[in-house]
Amino acid sequence: MVLLKTEKTSRVPTLLSMGFVVAMALASSDRMVHAQAVELPKPLIDAAQAYASKLTGGQKIGGKVSILGVNGGRELDMLKAAWAPFQAATGITVDYTGTTDFAAVLQTRVQAGDPPDLAGSTNINNLMRYAKQGALKDIGAMVGEAAIKGKFDAGLVDAASLNGKIYGVWTELNNFMVWYNAHTYDGPKDSPTWEQFDAWAVKRANAGKTPWCYTDERGASSGALAGNWIQAYILKNSGQKTLKGLADGSVSWTAPEVKAAFEAFGKVAHDPKMVPGGPVAAMSTPAVKVGTGLFYEPPQCSVLLWGTYAGSLTTLIYPKVKPIEDLDFMPVPGTPENAAYETFGGTLYLAFKDTPQVKAFLSYLVSDEAQKLVASAGNWTVASQAVQPSDYSNPVLKRARETLLKPGVTLVAQPTQVVDPPVIQALWKGIVQYVLDPDSLDSVLQSIDAAR
């Protein structure tokens, strides 16, 4: 009796899971939906492969390059597609480990004496710290400074150098800008000052329509979006000196111009007339949904300040929205004398080992051929200035290259890329606190200073 009963009931979940597997198998054979590998333009691939094969003298030297980074999913797939010609030409395997626990894994492995060959860091702080510890190799010496200097923005090379040696190379980049719904944003578009831009927001708010999109929940990095917001504001309104000062510690977070930036942000984040749902909704809605309100029916907000990727995140949610046509962007408003400066984010490759494989891979990474290949993936702008606007097929990236990365623009690192992790954590947590409690600003700024 017992046996009979158990056999019958145990079959149900087994059948369920079997059915599930079968459904999945069917799904994968369904032609309507396709998970296709990333395909990059054939001519670019051939060019990159030809270049890569020169790096090892036409020989397949084999071996491995291990990389620890933060990319995963589709993004990693694009990068792998851009590295495929290198693997094919040199026989070197690129073994990439991508994780959101990047910092913890890197620190553990370095401490234990088992660092990866390369690390794809999203901040400069790692470069400074490990270079000072003597853990990093001089990339300038490895690939030749001529392959980097002149081809990359001077600000980028500068940011990756310590004591005259280049310890890192930038590849994928992104900028920070003001995105807007081209149909509902009726404010100034031709490099307005912040006051002009803000006047539009206030007017719209008074008309009963929330102008700003702002959502900033992201688990351990909640407040990061506002961090970008505030740093972009400081660069455009107070200037690069303040931003650099915050990075190197010569400017205090309690300085009046920094406080003014927090207050400008607070004016937006604290006011339910400025942000849909006000601060509580902002802090409980995922940051990746920040663009959702732009094309909600009816639209809940018209502008947002975030990185280049905000465009593709929004079109992911609204497949019918066309970049530029429906969803456009402009540089962050500010004073005219700061117009030629932009903040940026990106991936910085650091070398912990100097092997022929690492050398070949880094030489490949900084080459025009490889950079063009990454650009053609349509997900990032790239650091090399050899890549022209016409090399981008994605209109948003093309536009970003034309406006934010054009010759004459100086890229300035955000303090959050440079300062030690405790300061970043204090900043993000402080922002979260400030958003919910406007009166806490002074103590928040002091706590960021205290974390230095």
| Range 86-145, binding other proteins (CB under 8 A) | 95-101, 103-105, 107-109, 111-114
State both tokens at 12.
């149900």
Q: How far is the CB of 348 from other proteins (least distance, A)?
A: 16
Neighbours of 60 (CB within 10 A): 13
CB-based contact 85:55 (threshold 8 Å) = no
Residues 24-43 that bind other proteins (CB under 8 A): 24, 27-28, 30, 33-35, 37
- Interface pick for other proteins out of 188, 272, 395, 438 (rule CB under 8 A): 272
Across-strand partners of 412? 343
For other proteins, the closer CB: 197 or 352: 352
In whole angstroms, what is the distance from residue 91 CA to residue 396 CA?
Answer: 35
Span interacting with other proteins, options 161-169, 191-199, 387-395, 420-428, rule CB under 8 A: 420-428
Q: Looking at 70-114, which runs of residues are DSSP E strands?
A: 93-98
For other proteins, the closer CB: 58 or 73: 73
CB-based contact 168:224 (threshold 8 Å) = no
Span interacting with other proteins, options 2-10, 159-167, 259-267, 357-365, rule CB under 8 A: 2-10
Assess 9 for contact with other proteins (CB under 8 A). yes
Q: Looking at 48-182, which runs of residues are DSSP E strands?
A: 64-69, 93-98, 118-121, 161-162, 165-166, 168-181
For other proteins, the closer CB: 19 or 356: 19
Assess 221 for contact with other proteins (CB under 8 A). yes
**CB < 8 Å & 24+ apart, contacts of 246-251:** 246/415, 246/419, 247/413, 247/414, 247/415, 247/417, 247/418, 247/419, 248/418, 249/419, 249/452
How many residues make contact with other proteins (CB under 8 A)? 83
Q: How far is the CB of 394 from other proteins (least distance, A)?
A: 15
Residues 290-319 that bind other proteins (CB under 8 A): 292, 296, 307, 309, 312-313, 316-319
Assess 439 for contact with other proteins (CB under 8 A). no
Span interacting with other proteins, options 68-76, 156-164, 362-370, 399-407, rule CB under 8 A: 68-76
What's the helix, strand, coil split of the chain in %, to 5? 50, 15, 35
In whole angstroms, what is the distance from residue 228 CA to residue 233 CA?
Answer: 8
Residues 315-374 that bind other proteins (CB under 8 A): 316-319
Assess 209 for contact with other proteins (CB under 8 A). no
For other proteins, the closer CB: 267 or 429: 429
In whole angstroms, what is the distance from residue 259 CA to residue 123 CA?
Answer: 24
Identity of the amino acid at 106? L
Q: How far is the CB of 214 from other proteins (least distance, A)?
A: 13
Assess 76 for contact with other proteins (CB under 8 A). yes
